[in-house]
């Protein structure tokens, strides 16, 4: 990024500095929450019980039938994707020398972020743990009880 040096006596423009400041604050605030969310996610999904072996559609269906885990995963989705995208933006700004390339990469990053946040949010809210016509042995146990 090219550095613009303002006229020394021009009034202080705060706009850009504040945006960067909010980004800086966001990384720290979301980071603390993400440590809790992701450590909990790894503990429940990879450490408890049979770990990675136990993860299948029925496992996800069981978790997402509980609003607690829906909110947990939704928060993780939003916070982590924005945290990661903003981190990548920092790297793009550090390692590209041409402003045009930086801009293209950054727009691509935020577009990918927006698509995945939207997709993930829709999946969490429209998820059906007992889809009609699916083989019963692939579904959570509570599906057959209905």
Partner 1 sequence: MPSMPAGTLYRGKVGMWSWVLHRITGVAIFFFLLVHVLDTALVRLSPEAYNAVIGTYKTPLIGLAELGLVAAILFHALNGLRVILIDFWRKGVKYQNVMFWIVIGIAAALFLGFAPRHLDHVFNLGLF
Distance separating alpha carbons of residues 119 and 21, to the nearest angstrom:
29
CB of 74 to partner 1, least distance (A): 12
CB of 141 to partner 1, least distance (A): 13
**Per the structure block, which two tokens stand in for 8?**
């020394």
By CB under 8 A, residue 91 contacts partner 1: yes
Token pair 């042995």 is found at: 137
By CB under 8 A, residue 81 contacts partner 1: yes
Distance separating alpha carbons of residues 111 and 89, to the nearest angstrom:
12
17, 97, 108 from 93: Cα distances, Å: 15, 8, 14
Contact residues toward partner 1 (CB under 8 A) are 28, 31-32, 34-35, 38-39, 42, 46-47, 50-53, 55-58, 60-61, 64, 77, 80-81, 84-85, 87-88, 91, 112, 116, 119-120, 122-123, 126-127, 131, 134-135, 138-139
């Amino acid at each position: 990024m090219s550095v613009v040096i303002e006229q020394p006596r021009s009034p202080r423009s705060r706009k850009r500095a504040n945006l960067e400041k909010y980004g800086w604050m966001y990384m720290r605030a979301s980071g603390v929450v993400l440590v809790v969310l992701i450590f909990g996610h790894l503990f429940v999904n990879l450490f408890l019980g049979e770990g990675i072996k136990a993860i299948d559609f029925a496992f996800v269906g069981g978790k997402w039938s509980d609003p607690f885990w829906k909110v947990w995963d939704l928060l993780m989705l939003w916070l982590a994707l924005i945290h990661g995208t903003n981190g990548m933006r920092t790297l793009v700004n550090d390692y590209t020398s041409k402003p045009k390339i930086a801009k293209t990469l950054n727009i691509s990053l935020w577009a990918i972020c927006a698509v995945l946040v939207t997709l993930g949010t829709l999946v969490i809210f429209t998820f059906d743990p007992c889809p009609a016509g699916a083989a019963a042995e692939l579904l959570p146990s509570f599906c057959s009880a209905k």
